[in-house]
Structure 1
Amino acid sequence: MGSEQSQLRSKSKDGDGSNRASSPLRQESVSSEVEAPPPYVPYTVGRPIGSECIAQNICSKKSPPKRTWIDSDTMITLNNSRDEYDQEDEEIRRLENVSSFLPIMRGSSRDPDILERLDVRGFNALVQRYSNHLRYTSKIIKDTQSEINKSIKETEALSASVLDQMNKNSSSYSKYAEKLAKASVMSRALNKCHSSLNENIERMEVLNNMLPMEERLEPFVWTTG
């Protein structure tokens, strides 16, 4: 393989530039076959019937090997410095230092040790305190409700008395309205009388002027207060 590549390179150097441009030589590359890892075959604890056949079928259906072409002029380097990855994270270290724990209540009777680890005294104290708090708040709410009911009753009594007073005032106002209506009727009658009186005065003056001088009366004067 190496001798053929050297001969091809020497021929390409002796050729013309036009031949180089028109027919470039392709260098043969080294092929490396990379086989894919076999697929994972699940097994159960009891190895059910037919598991071996399934495993053989899966192993027989392997994917064809993949071929990767690597150029001969390409240089591959590997960086072996993994200092930044080797450094352990501080938070991960703290999480690893945390001791394992179990939930307070799991709701299952298969773990009696959990109930033994649970501090009943603290739980009873918490429940007792919560009960006392509810009792205290219920007492406050009861007193407040009684005060509100008392104030509502007082307001209802006051509103009833105000309503009675308003009914009395409305009846008296209706009487006053009737009297005012009568006064308006009287006013219209008085105006009519006044107009008729003025007409009579004018007629009396006309008649008085028709009399001789020695028989005339003094002019009639009507004053209204």
Structure 2
Amino acid sequence: MLNWLRGKVSRDSPVSVSSASRTRDSYDHSIQQPQAQQYDTLNLTNDDLESPSTGRNTLVVVREGAVPKMTLESNELQLLQDIPEFKPLLSESGSHGLENFLDAKSLLAMAKIYQEHLHQSAESVSVEQTQITSRLKEVDMTIKVLMDRLSERQKSYAKAAEQIRKTSDITQSLKKLRTNVRETEEMLKLLNNELPPSLQLKPFSFVEGD
């Protein structure tokens, strides 16, 4: 490629060399511009192309410079990366498992014993539940009998209270009658005294208890 460029430079004018340089320069820039890349320019050393008119180096070559690494992580991934790590206090080797420490027969025997214990516990709970249910029924029957007796007693108390109220009313009526009788006796005495002696009646009095 460089030999072809040397022949091209020797045959063409300096204007064509600079034009080719600008074309390549713009082409590289159009390719690298979307990635926001930077470029450095370096002159050729041994393979420099000489201009036929000046004899000096006029062709420059661009190369890709240091490109910063683009971060493509999203916010969610960044948040996941920021979560602190929790490690166990005691590290264990991956080669040792539970099967190396537990005996299958002993483990099976322990499981059977535990199963039998659970079965017995379930049976005892069932028996106690049945007993509690029967006791609850007995308590319900006793409470019902007591409620019936209390209801009957309450009815009898209500009747007695009604009779007592009637007796109280009768007592009040008797007190009023007694007061009226005394007033009537006083009035009869006054009327008897107003009559002539020949027409007066014997003294009138009410005897209590008659």
TM-score by length of 1: 0.44
Q: Indicate the structure (1 or 2) with the bigger Cα radius of gyration.
A: 2
